[in-house]
Structure 1
Amino acid sequence: MTTIIKLLKNCFAKLNNLNRISTNRKYVPLYSILGATATSIIVYKIKRSRSVKLLKLTSREKRFIEFASIEFNGQIYMTPQDFLESIIEVEPKPRLKRKILDHKDLDKIKNTTPPLNKSSSSLFRNLENNGIMSYTEYLFLICILIKPQSAFKIAFNLFDTDGNQKVDKNEFLLIEKIFSNTWKKKRNIKDSKPNNKSSIMEQYVDDEQGLQRKHIVDTTILIHLFGPKGNVDLNFDTFNRFALNLQAELLEIEFVEFSKDLPTISELDFAKILLRYTYLDTDECNDYINRFKKRVRVNYRITFEEFKLFCQFLNNIDDFSNAIRIYTLADVPISIKKFRRAFKICTGKSINKNLAKIVFDIFDENEDGFLSNKEFIALMKNRLQRGFMSHKNNRGWNKFKKCFKQEFKTFILFH
């Protein structure tokens, strides 16, 4: 009973976290009531002369707004710590309001942001709340997290508009311009004629939610990649290292959470990690875990490098899906041998026999020695998104039920 009360309190605390979305009165948030708890829903009234338009936020816009804890000049931003929490946590920590930054705060951020040659897989953890990230950078970092390494070269070439194998600050900022134009097109906002003297940074969308407001701010990502003066060029090797470090940092956080500072995790921990961010409800998750417990025969410990390699494989899940489709068209079930072969094709590295056996023990429904590949691929694609996918009816009573189920699922996985 005490556990249930604690879970209920956690959900109410999270739902009570009302964040100020905009300082402009043209946008008025609507609210639904859950007992004594008011929760902001995803639709906003836009007052325009005599008409009222409803604006619906995307799942990523909502998530950024929920986790962003700082604001500067009317625009909301994330700290590095906010970003990590938005990837790992289901809901943001309760807070009364966002912190308002001034120019002194920005100067402090600029002076303490490390250069790219000192980049590491602990960059975001070291910076904690001493940093500032825009919404478009949030989208950019998400893309890095869920893409395979082969996609990094494609992304770099898109930035490299003049083809000199280097990316400068202005070329990098074009991605923000693209995101902004997409945002405007979706909301039917017409472009104003740009001033020839204006820079790229001065041509951002001026929306009223503080997501894409026009601004001139040297963010932590810009300073880290291009230096405090913005005169450092980025080559592919340094960009690739930055991207791999970001992926590794999230994996390290997740691994340590289960390993309790030990160098390895158990098979059961590994199973729990794989199922953690999936669409399975508590009962379904328990079914997988209980079935796995009955099948475990060897006490095998998974190292971080093995865990990291498997997660890199998940980033290549589309390639794996295509490879598996060849077998399924031929009506050939997927054995451990075929799975390991497809794994090597996708990653260029071999998966340990014991780890492959663990995967089959989790996802072999009938215990016939073959992978239930449709369920495996669907769940792993879902896990890869880590809450980035859109979910319907996630406000009001439905949000409370979802929150409680997730809190209970987390409690089960950790106890």
Structure 2
Amino acid sequence: MFDLNGDGDVDSSEFEEVANLIRQQTSIGSRHRDHSNTGNTFKGVNSALSCYFFGPKLDKKLTIEKFLDFQHQLQREILTLEFSRKNPDENGKITEADFAELMLAYAGYPQKKKIKKIKRVKKRFRDHGKGISKEDYLSFFHFLNEINDVDTALTFYHIAGASIDQLTLKHVAKTVAFVDLSDHVIDVVFTIFDENMDGQLSNREFVAVMKNRLMRGLERPKDTGFVKFMHSILKCAKETKPVLLDL
């Protein structure tokens, strides 16, 4: 989309041209034209990104490899911020209930249903909770990045009449997403989504909720999501150390 001349890389003028075009055609961009403060905010983010992508003199090229590395770092920073907001204990772990709240953040459930699920998790791990480490949290979201392939695999299991138990989910995560989910994380996931506690996962509900969680609500507005992506960068830059933009 940004590579206007088709040379395989993106320069600062191509980035600026497409970014401005997207801003003009989105609802958020329209509001920017009417509110100078928001417009200045967008310009500030755009300028910082341009400097990071193309250098202080804006004379460098942005390769797909550098952009993917940036995307990976940004996602890790956002997940780390989410995790830290749950106030990890002295061992660097959050509770299973905290993990459940993060999983259900964009589920679209009625509040009563969400509370019921979180209560089930609290009750299940009240006396023998191990907590969830940041590494486990990051691994789970690496697994979610492959949720479409995971959906396909689980669907084949379902068609074949095989049950989706904890070992099956662990196997799918390993073979499809190349992630070794801990047994404890899988146990918590099943506690969230196994309504009748029969040891079987409702894969349709699980996949739907995880897709919503991965999108973080960006699929709901009619915006492209690009402008919201830019605003997310600014928000993270304000709330965390400026790791990305100082590289």
In the alignment, which of 369, 374, 390 is matched to residue 199 of structure 2? 369
In the alignment, which of 242, 264, 272 is matched to residue 101 of structure 2? 272
SS at match of 1:167: coil
SS at match of 2:128: coil
In the alignment, which of 133, 137, 140 is matched to residue 303 of structure 1? 133
2-structure distance, mates of 1:243, 1:358 = 28
In the alignment, which of 106, 119, 128 is matched to residue 290 of structure 1? 119
Shift of 1:216: 8.8
Shift of 1:335: 1.3
- After superposition, the C-alpha distances for 1:213-251 in whole angstroms (9 at most, x for unaligned) are xx9986221122112321012233322221111101111
**Off by >3 Å, runs of 4+ in structure 1:** 158-166, 207-212, 215-218
Provide the residue aligned with 2:163 in structure 1. 333
1-structure distance, mates of 2:59, 2:20 = 20
- Note if contact 2:96-2:122 (Cα within 8 Å) is conserved in structure 1: no
Provide the residue aligned with 1:16 in structure 2. none
Once the two structures are superposed, the pairs formed by residues 2-401 of structure 1 within 5 Å of their partners are: 158-160=1-3, 164-173=7-16, 175-176=18-19, 179=22, 183=25, 209=34, 219-260=47-88, 262=90, 263-296=92-125, 298-390=128-220
Shift of 1:163: 5.7
Give the structure with the larger strand fraction.
1
User: Aligned AA for 2:12?
Assistant: K
1-structure distance, mates of 2:87, 2:108 = 24
Shift of 1:260: 4.2
- Note if contact 2:166-2:190 (Cα within 8 Å) is conserved in structure 1: yes
> Gaps (5+ residues) in structure 1?
1-157, 187-203, 392-415
Provide the residue aligned with 2:245 in structure 1. none
316 and 258 in structure 1: CA distance in 2 versus 1, 3 angstrom threshold: same
**Number of residue pairs matched?**
214
173 and 345 in structure 1: CA distance in 2 versus 1, 3 angstrom threshold: farther
Shift of 1:178: 5.8
Aligned-pair identity in percent equals: 32
User: Aligned AA for 1:316?
Assistant: E
Shift of 1:388: 2.6
2-structure distance, mates of 1:254, 1:261 = 15
Larger-gyration structure (1/2): 1
2-structure distance, mates of 1:364, 1:282 = 18
2-structure distance, mates of 1:209, 1:319 = 42
Shift of 1:355: 1.2
276 and 216 in structure 1: CA distance in 2 versus 1, 3 angstrom threshold: closer
What's the RMSD between the two structures over aligned residues? 3.2
242 and 291 in structure 1: CA distance in 2 versus 1, 3 angstrom threshold: same
SS at match of 1:359: helix
159 and 389 in structure 1: CA distance in 2 versus 1, 3 angstrom threshold: closer
Provide the residue aligned with 1:142 in structure 2. none
